[in-house]
Chain A
Amino acid sequence: MIRKAMKGNVSLIAGSIMVSITFILLALSFIWTPHDPLEVNPEDSFAGISSKHFLGADKLGRDILSQIIVGSRVTLFVAALAVSIAMSLGVSAGIIIAIAKRKYQSPMVYAVNIALAFPAALLAIILAAVYGASTITAVTAIGLATAAAVAQVTRRTAHGILASDYVLAAHASGASTWRIIRKHVMPNLRASLLIQASAAVSVSVLAESSLSYLGLGTPPPAPSWGRMLAGSQQYLFVNPLLAIWPGIAIVIVVLGFNLVGDGVREVFDPTLRRSDS
């Protein structure tokens, strides 16, 4: 099944490789890192690529590779949690709005649009001001902000599905609203939800990096890719590699999840399959 899905599906293959690299880094962070990522070593300040530091060291002489490996924890934790919040809230809100009576629909759509217009960074700043900057405030802000976008797309897609002939036909054969949601709306939403989820992973990884960069995310000293980028900008002309490594890591995760989302959609849609079981 997996091998067949992979066959000729370039985005799925490339995406899976990139996502696997991220998860290998995550697993590795619990088992082994070349150095203690927080170990300060003044004589290695700005060390280049060497057998001691594979990817070099930062100003304080901390090993970059070790920081990247451990930084994957924050990135993936934030992405997983934020996407779970965004998808569960967004999808249920979207479906509820789509099946609601017409007169209740427009106020709910307005509410979603207002939530959508509210910038995630502002929400993160407010939360950080009230509760102190932490990974959890970043997750909450990213999750809530993404939920609005998910709700909007879900509502629109579900609306189209509910207006389709096969839903009318299902009503005509006596199916209840709940059965129609389970058997007809959800399966036909699946492709769109997968794309949204993979896009949401990318958005949350980027958002986490931006928030950490602004100092609104994971507080130091725990390594985070976003804060590594922030820390490196002062030394961009002294040692550009410092910015490039976390940048590459972020690109791999974001691109990987996007490609997987694209590839999986093709697997789930029987009309796009080249051959069938």
Chain B
Amino acid sequence: MSLLEVNNLTISFGNKKVVDSISFTLEKGSRIGLIGESGSGKSMTSLAIMGLLPDTATVSGSILFEGQELIGLSDRDHSRLRGNRIGMVFQEPLTALNPLMRIGKQIAGPLMVHKGASLKEGLEKALQLCTMVGLPDPDRVLRAYPHQLSGGQRQRIGLAIALACDPALLIADEPTTALDVTVQREVLNLINTLVDEEGSSLIFVTHDLPVVSAMTENVAVMQLGKIVENASVASLFHEPAHEYSRRLISAARLAEDAFSGKGGAL
């Protein structure tokens, strides 16, 4: 049994389809990249798996997670999976943390909700998690408020929260888009290492082809709510089948050439 099976998932707002009958499967411990421009439906897909779509959305199709159907699941049952079996890292580390709550409590939150931990136990585990995500001086970090940390540090916290309960699936929604380029590399490496160590599966959502190639072996290219190509990273680079994939690759190459001085015209 696959960890996650998405079948003919369709999400629409009114009569506008933002995700149009997409299907993919994810085995235990494997990874998939969802790549596409903004509005292609990649974030909506991850929110559908989390059960966090706005209540104005209508969803059809099927999402099987560990054999359990997630579409039509009550919010109460879905919330038992969120942060527990499925963790999620968000795009904006700046706004994804409560500005008025100390970091320690925010990391301890999912442990208290799902594992019945006391605040004290939660904070002890939070200290380990801070060390695990490579934050220096974890004692100080736990007592800090979000605005006292840098963007990269905050994204590490986001990762610590997502991984607190050892989820079987981690969804990373453009986790490095808002970060400095130098910090991006560090955070990507960290996600790579931790997902390997924990043996979790990974859905990596991005619009950036070089980033996804560093993270996953398989890529689903999305455009206007449809998966237009589903291939391994290597074959996508060498023989892109779809027009949109070719454009993505040439855009990535263009940036690379400009960097190495071959572009000229840029």
Contact = CB atoms under 8 A, between A and B. Distances in A.
A174 B82 contact: yes
A171 B47 CA distance: 11
A198 to B, nearest CB: 19
B55 A172 contact: no
Nearest to B113: A174
Chain A interface size, under 10 / 10 to 19 / 20 to 34 / 35 or more? 20 to 34
Given A102-B56, A165-B92, A270-B147, A172 B99 contact: no
B96 A169 contact: yes
A174 B100 contact: no
A173 B92 CA distance: 16
A169 B84 contact: no
A168 B90 contact: yes
A173 B161 contact: yes
Given A168-B90, A173-B109, A276-B148, A184 B99 contact: no
A102 B52 contact: no
Contacts of B92: 165
Interface in B132-174: 145, 147-148, 158, 161-162, 164
Contacts, number: 86
Nearest to A270: B145
A271 interface: yes
Contacts of B98: 166, 170, 183-184, 187-188
B52 A183 contact: no
Given A169-B161, A174-B83, A164 B95 contact: yes
B39 to A, nearest CB: 19
Contacts of B161: 169, 173
Nearest to B78: A174
Contact of A166 (B84, B95, B164): B95
Contacts of B95: 164-166
Interface in A219-270: 269-270
B80 interface: yes
B110 A165 contact: no
B101 interface: yes
Interface in B75-108: 76, 79-84, 87-88, 90, 92, 95-101
Interface string A179-220: 100011001101000000000000000000000000000000
A170 B110 CA distance: 8
Interface residues of B, number: 33
Contacts of A102: 55-56
Nearest to A172: B88
A169 B47 CA distance: 11
A174 B81 contact: yes
A175 B87 CA distance: 12
A166 B91 CA distance: 11
A187 B109 CA distance: 15
Given A172-B88, A187-B98, A187-B100, A179 B55 contact: no
Contacts of B96: 165-166, 168-169
A7 interface: no
Contacts of B52: 168, 171-172
B110 to A, nearest CB: 4
A175 B55 contact: no
B50 interface: yes
A175 B99 contact: no
A175 B145 contact: no
A174 B110 contact: yes
Nearest to B81: A174
Interface string B36-77: 000000000000001010011000000000000000000010
Contacts of B84: 174
Contacts of B56: 102
Contacts of A51: none
A267 B92 CA distance: 27
Contacts of B17: none
Nearest to A171: B52
A166 B99 CA distance: 9
B82 A101 contact: no
B97 A172 contact: no
A187 B101 contact: yes
B125 interface: no
Contacts of B28: none
Interface string B114-127: 10000000000000
Given A102-B55, A184-B101, 13 more contacts: A102-B56, A166-B95, A166-B99, A168-B52, A168-B90, A170-B109, A171-B52, A172-B50, A172-B87, A174-B83, A183-B109, A184-B98, A188-B98
A-B interface, 9 closest residue pairs, ranked by CB to CB distance from nearest? A173-B83, A174-B83, A165-B95, A173-B110, A174-B82, A172-B88, A169-B96, A165-B96, A166-B98
